[in-house]
Structure 1
């Protein structure tokens, strides 16, 4: 890697560090903002609860006593709980509102060790269907439904109107995590305007914290939606977003956390201009986000065509989501697997068509997930080994040529002669058949893989709850020490795998710096010393970034660096410098007898030098003319 490349990488790193530092609010500002947000949230919740307690019951009794209302009989009744259950999911519905009030994903332990995940319960989640009639507006959450056609996996809930008509909710729990749901009106055609053909849905949910690491899990919790024309998008997961307008027609809306999601899917689309809300919750509240979606979909008041939807309540498992989509009766390309984020296009391609298949194959062997990560690392190292070896040999060639280049360019050690020195060096490299840029190849090879795994590992639900060595759960951090109060940049713990990764990074940087130093000529070696601090600063920066990250990701990076260092050490021990130098000298003799025109960087340096010499000559001529 030459000086310009090193300076370029250093400047990029400096810009990233500087941007992060200067744009981060101070500790005092964070404290004040957190207090203000907490006070505002508490006041808002108190006012909402007070409003509900004061108005809800009187309004219901008033509606029930108002015999002019179409559904006045449905405004009073008795709340009953109905349970639908299969081997994967347990649902509890309430006849008051016809809504699912409790949902448990079975056989997944929660963060407290209980055997089932409660994805929502009680008032955490509510789904209102709102219809605008000629004389009144109907909100289904206010109605009491009666139960018909009840089995272990199906139920029909009916809200009866005074004219003999009704609104029917039909639920069917499939064999896994998918619920078929439809809304059908009967005998209500005259109660709505002739052109009325849609209904409003207001869906709210308090997304529960399911994992040990609040900060890390919250980073992967987002309100996500699928556009009808293709592609998914999501709300900013780190900021308060209230009623953001989404202008696209949508296929589904998902209230997503790191490993589990609630997804509402519409057969007849959700119309354009939906309003989406995502409010991050305070650490320690037990919740990650407060989600909200105000959407519209098709409704037939004549009762000929039901409003068909599906609700997915389950894990964010790529292969499972593909399977569920095949079972769906919606008949669309839903792309539910997009709930498992695999990175930007290049990194998504790596994860989608390589990492996933390798991961599926290895997990199918029923071996420990820590071993799976080690085997994936070994496989990636084997695939990239030929290119890494070629890059190392290029660096080795530069190392054995260093004494020769020092001697050949010693007359250019003055600062004003650096351009000539660079040109002379490039000319010599060309004659010896050496490319100085090849030394950067290992970093260029590994960077896309590192970033791809950065996206893959935190979203791999297979790591959830899996232990390895001292690590109790590969999907979250592994603390060796914790404390009660959060420290800026560090948090409330120290993660052992993060420390191992950062120490390994320092050691690998030392090895790389020594290798670079061995091949630098003249002032390049001096300039390299100025860059060392950046190489040592990066692992420190990584510590502050990755202390909250999953142990699985930190462990992968640690193993990857270990194998990279081992490969570098083996290549160094197995390289015969004397034999390599003799081969280069023979090549030099051949090229000296058959001079080639400079290409690449050597040609650019030569052209730049000629341009500077021409400018210098003109200045000298101008000075002479002025003197005359």
Structure 2
């Protein structure tokens, strides 16, 4: 990697940081915007509240009328005693309420929470609600208002019935599978006459306050997203950091997930959710105990004749890639649901790396070693795989280093600013004669970058790291504080993470090695300019500190080990390379190329040819300009 490449990377970072700082509004503008937003928000909330009050008033009036009329539809089902029914297996324990006939509490076994409880409560009656609305000719039927009578109760099944009148009822049955899948069927019995002939859908309104389950609110919140799956394939999700209200989904979807970092509640429709579903995600403040409020408003199949039930599967469980692949097979719908997409593995290139390499290696190693050792071994394996390319790249840089005296001599006469083109051309000519490519030094970064980004996506989503300790790190899935305080400090937060400090220290070490190597091959003014670049190179670890202080100790530990091995490899290659022997090889190649110029090849030769062409074009333009001036 030459000076210009380094300058390019650093300038991009500086421009991004500078633009972010420059584009920030002033304090006065922020206050004015805050006031305007507050006024607008109050107005919106007032309008929404008014609509809700009007709708509630209409519903109350209808309900009052039904209660007064003993012959009215669902007269008896609008009053009753709420009962709780529990279905359970080795994986989950689900509590149902007879009012509404829905799950009001989901407990996932085998996983603790951040408060020290041995079992994790995904949600309870305060957090979650699910309502099915059937549009009849005279009145809308909302299941959340109805008291269902439970029957046929076992540990894994229950049937809820809401009587609408003689021979008329809504029947909802649940069957809990072996693991995390709950199957549901809904039938309207003997009620075809109360619906319009063209009725074929019902409304589904699902609301959930996503609990904070992990220690680090900021880090967990990055991976808490309302996610949905397109019937045609592929998943999408709402913005994880901004408020999104009633986003309209153009495609048909077959499932929607209320997801936090490591656990999800998923609703799957056998006959799909229709187009124009509305999705909402509203973030909560740190310290509230919640991450986001999710809401999904959808339409799906409903047969008023009762001949075909509306069927759903629910998944309440961990975001474990292999587990989700197995659980999907328990669904009776025969769809390619791609539930494993709940474990986000990155953009296509990085997803391929994680899907077909990282996960397999991780699964194999985690059966034998503790998770901290697994991260070290994965790092070592990746270094072994990439070593031949890294060595080849290093040798290219070493060739440029040993050729530095030759380059100094060849470019000595081009020290004026106006001679830079000739200087570059002379350098390219020398590189071409010796068969050296000046761009090969960038290869280590290009090789490692996809792997770094792939691990950046994999480690935070690996539930296997949750609760696993290693050395001083009590939980590899969250940060490892060496100092905590109650007040939130801008850019830093409320703690200092030791692995983040180690990672940034390793980055400084690696940058120093890189700059030393670059300095050895700089020619003329490049060496002086490199000195000015050094302080800018040290800004990158500082930037990483502010970014990664909230990230998991497992991810920071991986980066620390990776950079440490990279620096060790570079140091080893530097001290095992015989510069004199390498120069002799290059001199031999130079003589061979001098005797047969046609053998000159490689990127340097092509660059030299391109520069010669550009110089020839420039010369022709200047001749044309002179001729035009004479005319």
Show the 5 A alignment for 1:94-493: 94-365=97-368, 367-493=369-495
**1:525 matched residue in structure 2:** 527
> For structure 1, which runs of at least 5 residues remain unmatched after alignment?
none
Distance, in Å, in 1 between the alignment partners of 2:103 and 2:67 is 23
CA contact (8 A) 1:83 1:92 kept: yes
CA shift in 2, pair 1:324/1:20, >3 Å: farther
Which of 375-384 and 132-141 deviates more? 132-141
The DSSP-based 3-state class of the residue aligned with 2:436 is coil
**2:610 matched residue in structure 1:** 604
**2:585 matched residue in structure 1:** 583
Deviation at 1:342, TM superposition (A): 0.5
Distance, in Å, in 2 between the alignment partners of 1:30 and 1:460 is 39
The DSSP-based 3-state class of the residue aligned with 1:161 is strand
Which of 499-508 and 55-64 deviates more? 55-64
CA deviations on 1:344-380 (whole Å, 9 max, x unpaired) are 1111111111111111111122x21111000000000
CA shift in 2, pair 1:33/1:59, >3 Å: farther
Deviation at 1:61, TM superposition (A): 5.7
CA shift in 2, pair 1:491/1:273, >3 Å: same
CA deviations on 1:530-568 (whole Å, 9 max, x unpaired) are 332331111111111111111111110000000000000
CA contact (8 A) 2:66 2:73 kept: no
The DSSP-based 3-state class of the residue aligned with 2:597 is coil
Deviation at 1:86, TM superposition (A): 0.6
Deviation at 1:595, TM superposition (A): 1.4
Deviation at 1:528, TM superposition (A): 2.3
CA deviations on 1:224-265 (whole Å, 9 max, x unpaired) are 100111111111111111111111111101111110001100
CA contact (8 A) 1:226 1:233 kept: yes
Count of paired positions: 624
Q: Are residue 81 (structure 1) and residue 84 (structure 2) matched?
A: yes
Deviation at 1:192, TM superposition (A): 0.8
> For structure 2, which runs of at least 5 residues remain unmatched after alignment?
none
TM-score under structure 2 normalisation?
A: 0.94
CA contact (8 A) 2:263 2:319 kept: yes
Deviation at 1:610, TM superposition (A): 2.5
Deviation at 1:618, TM superposition (A): 5.2
CA contact (8 A) 1:61 1:76 kept: no
CA deviations on 1:254-289 (whole Å, 9 max, x unpaired) are 111110001100110101111111101111111111
CA deviations on 1:281-336 (whole Å, 9 max, x unpaired) are 11111111100011011111111111111000000001000001111111100000
Distance, in Å, in 1 between the alignment partners of 2:63 and 2:479 is 49
**1:497 matched residue in structure 2:** 499
CA contact (8 A) 1:70 1:163 kept: no
CA shift in 2, pair 1:615/1:522, >3 Å: farther
CA contact (8 A) 2:3 2:518 kept: no
CA contact (8 A) 2:177 2:330 kept: no
The DSSP-based 3-state class of the residue aligned with 1:377 is helix
CA contact (8 A) 2:2 2:518 kept: no
Deviation at 1:616, TM superposition (A): 4.6
Deviation at 1:522, TM superposition (A): 1.2
**1:508 matched residue in structure 2:** 510
Deviation at 1:607, TM superposition (A): 1.7
Q: What is the root-mean-square deviation in Å for CA atoms of aligned residues?
A: 2.6
**1:571 matched residue in structure 2:** 573
CA deviations on 1:382-405 (whole Å, 9 max, x unpaired) are 000000000011111111111121
Distance, in Å, in 2 between the alignment partners of 1:66 and 1:335 is 49
Distance, in Å, in 1 between the alignment partners of 2:319 and 2:499 is 25
CA contact (8 A) 1:64 1:74 kept: no
**1:12 matched residue in structure 2:** 12
Deviation at 1:475, TM superposition (A): 0.6
Distance, in Å, in 2 between the alignment partners of 1:39 and 1:214 is 25
Which of 184-193 and 147-156 deviates more? 184-193
